[in-house]
Amino acid sequence: MLASEIMDESAALMNDAGKLTWGYPQLLPYLRRAYGTLELHLFLNGVRALKEVSSIIPVTAIDPVIALPTDFVQAISMEERALGTTDGFFPVTESDWDQTLNVDSIMYWNWREEGLKINAPRIDREVRLRYRKGLTAITTENSNIPILLSKPYLSAKCAANASAFGASNTERAAILNNEANVELAMLINSEIRNQQGIKFRRRPYGAGRRARR
């Protein structure tokens, strides 16, 4: 699904299906904001659209902080080895507090003050960081949005944002926000059910009638 498809629907929700006032350049900032809100809700509800990936990151000696990937959202686990080798990786233990040990290895990490802190090693190391990545950024109307069934929410929320912050139409924004909230609840529920392997089943016609006999 392309960003343009969502913005086409957003323009229609604002009574501008021809995009005479609300074209792609005008709607794109509001779609990005809606997309960011969706990303946060997915994260808070543990939805796997924020995929787990790994990255190998070099660590300079005496450096107490890991350089984070640009798509980083949340650290899951860490392993280490000597920089530039093919040695096996060894686990780095998550700790609730900073560790200051005068050793060659990292050994401990923790998340604090919006940074990934480590015990600063005496020599250069590299880590394999497993983390939860964010959604791919929307840059143009041709950007791909990989979340199935997200169009109703994103189009309503984009239109609500544009109505509130671009057109100062608080009445329309309120109506669209209510619609977006309903669509978001259904989207989150669908994603969670899909993760759990729960299938939607229709009740056979007449099932309720037979049960009442």
Q: What is the pLDDT along the chain (213 residues), one digit of tens a residue?
A: 999 999 999 999 999 999 999 999 999 999 999 999 999 998 888 777 677 889 999 999 999 999 999 889 889 999 999 998 999 999 999 988 777 888 999 999 999 888 999 999 999 999 999 998 888 889 999 999 988 899 999 999 999 999 999 999 999 999 999 999 999 999 999 888 877 654 444 445 454 544 444
Q: Can you tell me which residue has the tokens 């960011």?
A: 36
SS3 assignment for 197-212: CCCCCCCCCCHHHHHH
Spell 61-87 as b/e; 16+ CB within 10 A means b.
eeebebebeebbbebeebbbbeeeeee
Backbone φ and ψ for 125, nearest 5 degrees, come out as -130, 175
What is the pTM assigned to this prediction? Answer: 0.70
CA distance 144 to 154: 13
Distance CA 58, CA 168 (A): 48
Domain boundaries, the chain: 3-48+137-195, 52-133
> Quick one: pLDDT at residue 205?
46
Q: What is the pLDDT of residue 206?
A: 53
Give the span between the Cα atoms of 136 and 56, in whole angstroms.
Answer: 20
pLDDT value at residue 197: 58
Query: Could you tell me which of 8, 2, 10 has the C-alpha nearest to residue 153?
Result: 10
The label of the residue with tokens 């544009």 reads 162
CA distance 119 to 66: 10
Report d(CA 108, CA 79) in Å as an integer. 10
- Residue corresponding to tokens 């189009």: 155
